C-alpha cells in the first residue's frame, strides 16, 4: 500500500513538474504585462514539434533544441510586437481574445508546417525507471523537475539581482512610475514575451519524451498550466512551481483513491476553492485586482 501511495506521489510530481514549467511561462508574462497569454501552450508545442522535426531531419539533439527555443522566442517576440503591443490599452477581454486568436493561428500553422500526428523524443537518459520506495520514476521526470527548479532559481536571481529583471518587476507593479524613472516599458514587455516563449519551448522539449507532442498538445497543457499558475498565485515564480506540483499530486491522488474519471474536476474544484478563499493564490503576494 505504502508503495502505492509513493507511486501516486511520484506520478503526481511528474505531472506537476510539467504543469509547473508551463505555469512559469504564464507568470513571467503576467508579471511584466498583466496579460494572460492563452498562446502559452502553443510555445510548448512549438518547442516540442520543432525539436522533433529537426532531429528527424538529422540534426543532433542539442542543436535542434537550441533552434527550437530560438524559434519559439522569435514567435513570442513577434506575438508581442504585432498583436499585444498595439492593443495594450485594450480591456482584459480583448487581450484574452487576441492571445486565443494567436493560439488558434499557431496551431493551424503547426498542422500545416508539420502534420497532425503524434511524435516523441527519446528520453535524455534512458527509460530505465528509478526505484524509489517501491515506486518507479522515469529519469526524464528528474530532468523536468531539475530544470524547473533551475529555472525558478535563475528567474529569482534575474528578477532580484539584474537591472533588467528589477525593471520588469517595477513595470508590473507600477507601469506609469516605471516609465517615469526611465524604464523602457515596451522593451520590458517585449523581453517578457520572448523569455516566456523560450521557457515554454524548453518545457515542450523536456516533456515530449513523457507526454508525446503534436500540433494540438498545447491546448490541454495551456489550460492546466494556467490553472497551476493561478493556484500558486499569478506572477509568482515559486508559486507557479508549487501550484503545478499541488495540481499534479492532487490529480494523481484523486485518480488513485477517488475516481480517475473525475480527477480533472477535482483539480479545477481545487483551483476554484483557492480563487474563492485566497484569490491571490497560495504564494501570491498581491491581492486580487482592486477597485
User: Which residue stretch of 54-62, 183-191, 227-235, 238-246 sits at the interface with another protein (rule: CB under 8 A)?
Assistant: 227-235
- Give Cβ neighbours of residue 285 (< 8 Å, ≥ 6 apart): 233, 236
Task: Please report, as residue ranges, which positions from 117 to 136 form the binding site for another protein (by CB under 8 A).
Answer: 117-120, 127, 129, 135-136
To 5 degrees, how large is the angle CA 36–CA 113–CA 54?
95
Residue among 56, 70, 101, 160 that touches another protein (CB under 8 A)? 101
Closest CB 128 distance from another protein, rounded Å: 9
Which residues on neighbouring strands pair with residue 213, listed in sequence order? 119
User: Which residue stretch of 57-65, 177-185, 191-199, 222-230 sits at the interface with another protein (rule: CB under 8 A)?
Assistant: 222-230
Closest CB 280 distance from another protein, rounded Å: 9
User: Which residue stretch of 52-60, 159-167, 236-244, 256-264 sits at the interface with another protein (rule: CB under 8 A)?
Assistant: 256-264
Residue among 132, 162, 262, 285 that touches another protein (CB under 8 A)? 262
Three-state DSSP at 215 gives coil
Task: Please report, as residue ranges, which positions from 272 to 291 form the binding site for another protein (by CB under 8 A).
Answer: 272, 275-276, 279, 287-291
Is 78 a residue that touches another protein (CB under 8 A)? no
- Give Cβ neighbours of residue 50 (< 8 Å, ≥ 6 apart): 64, 67, 68, 71, 72, 201
Rounded to a whole number, what is the largest CA-CA distance in the chain? 61
Residue among 111, 132, 150, 177 that touches another protein (CB under 8 A)? 111
Distance CA 50, CA 55 (A): 8
User: Which residue stretch of 10-18, 51-59, 150-158, 179-187 sits at the interface with another protein (rule: CB under 8 A)?
Assistant: 10-18
Closest CB 102 distance from another protein, rounded Å: 6
Distance CA 93, CA 134 (A): 48
Gap between the terminal Cα atoms of the chain: 51
How many residues form the binding site for another protein (CB under 8 A)? 86
Task: Please report, as residue ranges, which positions from 149 to 188 form the binding site for another protein (by CB under 8 A).
Answer: none
Distance CA 121, CA 123 (A): 6
Amino acid at each position: 500500500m505504502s508503495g502505492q501511495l509513493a507511486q501516486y506521489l511520484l506520478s503526481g510530481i511528474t505531472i506537476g513538474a510539467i504543469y509547473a514549467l508551463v505555469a512559469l511561462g504564464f507568470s513571467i508574462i503576467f508579471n511584466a504585462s498583466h496579460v494572460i497569454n492563452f498562446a502559452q501552450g502553443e510555445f510548448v508545442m512549438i518547442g516540442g514539434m520543432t525539436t522533433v522535426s529537426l532531429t528527424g531531419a538529422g540534426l543532433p539533439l542539442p542543436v535542434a533544441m537550441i533552434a527550437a527555443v530560438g524559434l519559439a522566442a522569435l514567435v513570442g517576440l513577434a506575438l508581442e510586437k504585432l498583436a499585444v503591443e498595439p492593443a495594450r490599452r485594450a480591456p482584459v477581454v480583448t487581450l484574452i481574445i487576441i492571445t486565443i486568436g494567436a493560439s488558434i493561428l499557431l496551431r493551424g500553422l503547426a498542422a500545416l508546417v508539420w502534420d497532425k500526428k503524434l511524435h516523441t523524443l527519446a528520453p535524455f537518459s534512458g527509460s530505465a525507471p528509478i526505484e524509489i520506495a517501491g515506486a518507479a520514476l522515469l529519469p526524464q521526470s528528474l530532468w523536468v523537475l531539475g530544470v524547473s527548479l533551475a529555472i525558478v532559481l535563475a528567474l529569482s536571481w534575474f528578477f532580484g539581482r539584474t537591472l533588467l529583471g528589477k525593471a520588469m518587476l517595477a513595470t508590473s507593479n507600477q507601469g506609469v512610475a516605471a516609465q517615469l524613472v526611465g524604464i523602457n516599458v515596451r522593451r520590458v514587455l517585449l523581453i517578457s514575451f520572448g523569455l516566456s516563449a523560450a521557457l515554454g519551448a524548453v518545457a515542450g522539449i523536456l516533456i515530449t519524451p513523457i507526454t508525446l507532442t503534436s500540433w494540438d498538445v498545447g491546448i490541454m497543457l495551456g489550460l492546466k498550466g494556467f490553472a497551476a499558475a493561478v493556484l500558486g498565485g499569478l506572477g509568482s515564480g515559486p508559486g507557479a512551481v508549487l501550484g503545478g506540483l499541488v495540481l499534479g499530486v492532487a490529480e494523481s491522488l484523486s485518480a488513485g483513491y477517488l475516481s480517475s474519471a473525475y480527477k480533472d474536476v477535482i483539480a479545477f474544484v481545487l483551483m476554484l476553492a483557492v480563487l474563492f478563499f485566497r484569490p491571490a493564490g497560495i504564494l501570491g503576494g498581491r491581492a486580487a485586482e482592486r477597485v
